[in-house]
């Protein structure tokens, strides 16, 4: 029985895998269930490697999935551009030894996965989290008083180019968060005091945003005077019940900060607060 491997693979959600080898193992198991006579050599041939032991070596972990192999696999399985990019990214992420590259690849993987799981008409909401600029620009702007590009740029504590700022303003205008009030010179005003994205936005979509903000926090240790920042940490031993209590309290604290900000009449400065809670032991 001949198996159409490119059709069969559509029964598996590629975007639920973060290891290309596990995806291929799942696909082979499905093919094997479809036809008991289907062998690992048949699988290698179906993926464009000929009748050899390539897939057997991948399965056993003795062979990496190279860039050349990725090309053969994605073409043989009839993957579209987004699927091919995702498969290529998780393959590179698995074998990369460079921490900086791994962070970039992880962000890309999570973004592609989020877009796959999120309605296309809502993709702009995901784009909001692709750059820390957007949130800062939104907070700098005011509903009552329009500001020029230079006035907005002068409020940034971290340097931003005029081009980057204009892109952010155009993006926020497209979302309906900002409006152009005049043309000579161009002045911008935000159209709403606050906003929230739909509950359907996957948490993975904001991973890149958090990564950028944590990097900015590290830079602030050197760039920002101590009297303008507060960065501290505590290491504690607790049980799972207390962990859940801490998470609830953090959520309440965030809501309290939003309340404080809403009561502030003279909003002189945009501040960023990062709260990280994560395990250091198993």
pLDDT of residue 205: 53
Q: 3-class SS at 8?
A: helix
Q: How many C-alpha atoms does 85 have within 13 Å on its Cβ side?
A: 14
Tens digit of each residue's pLDDT, the chain (282 residues): 578 899 999 999 998 888 999 999 999 999 999 988 888 888 888 888 887 777 778 877 778 888 889 999 999 999 999 999 999 999 999 888 888 888 788 878 877 887 776 665 555 666 777 778 888 888 888 878 888 999 999 988 888 899 999 999 998 988 888 998 877 888 999 888 776 555 444 455 566 677 778 888 888 888 888 888 888 888 888 899 999 999 999 999 988 998 888 888 777 888 888 888 888 777
Domain ranges for the chain: 5-117
DSSP 183-240: ETTEEEEES-S-----TTS-GGGGHHHHHHHHHHHHHHHHHS-GGG-----------H
Which pTM value belongs to this model?
0.53
* Residue range 148-203, pLDDT digits in tens: 999 999 988 888 899 999 999 998 988 888 998 877 888 999 888 776 555 444 45
pLDDT of residue 226: 86
Closest CA to 125 of 182, 69, 175: 175
CA distance 103 to 197: 25
Structure-block tokens of residue 190: 């935000």
pLDDT of residue 100: 80
CA distance 59 to 53: 10
Do the beta carbons of residue 162 and residue 149 sit within 8 Å?
Answer: yes
């Amino acid at each position: 029985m001949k198996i159409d491997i490119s059709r069969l693979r559509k029964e598996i959600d590629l975007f639920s895998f973060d290891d290309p080898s596990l995806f291929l193992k799942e696909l082979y198991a499905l093919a094997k269930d479809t036809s008991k006579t289907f062998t690992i050599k048949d699988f290698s041939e179906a993926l464009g490697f000929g009748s050899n032991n390539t897939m057997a070596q991948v399965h056993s972990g003795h062979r990496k999935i190279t860039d050349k192999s990725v090309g053969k696999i994605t073409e043989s399985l009839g993957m579209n551009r987004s699927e091919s990019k995702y498969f290529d990214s998780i393959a590179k992420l698995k074998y990369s030894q460079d921490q900086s590259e791994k962070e970039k690849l992880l962000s890309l993987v999570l973004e592609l996965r989020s877009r796959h799981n999120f309605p296309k008409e809502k993709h702009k909401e995901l784009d909001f989290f692709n750059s820390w600029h957007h949130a800062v620009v939104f907070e700098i702007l005011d509903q009552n008083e329009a500001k020029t590009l230079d006035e907005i740029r002068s409020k940034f504590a971290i340097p931003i180019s005029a081009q980057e700022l204009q892109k952010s303003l155009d993006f926020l205008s497209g979302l309906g968060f900002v409006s152009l009030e005049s043309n000579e010179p161009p002045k911008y005003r935000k159209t709403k005091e606050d906003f929230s994205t739909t509950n359907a936005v996957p948490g993975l979509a904001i991973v890149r945003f958090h990564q950028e903000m944590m990097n900015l926090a590290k830079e602030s240790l050197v760039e920002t005077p101590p009297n303008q920042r507060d960065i501290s940490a505590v290491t504690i031993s607790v049980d799972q019940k207390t962990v859940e209590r801490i998470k609830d309290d953090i959520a309440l604290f965030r809501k309290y900060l939003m309340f404080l900000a809403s009561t502030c009449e003279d909003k002189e400065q945009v501040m960023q607060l990062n709260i990280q809670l994560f395990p250091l032991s198993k």
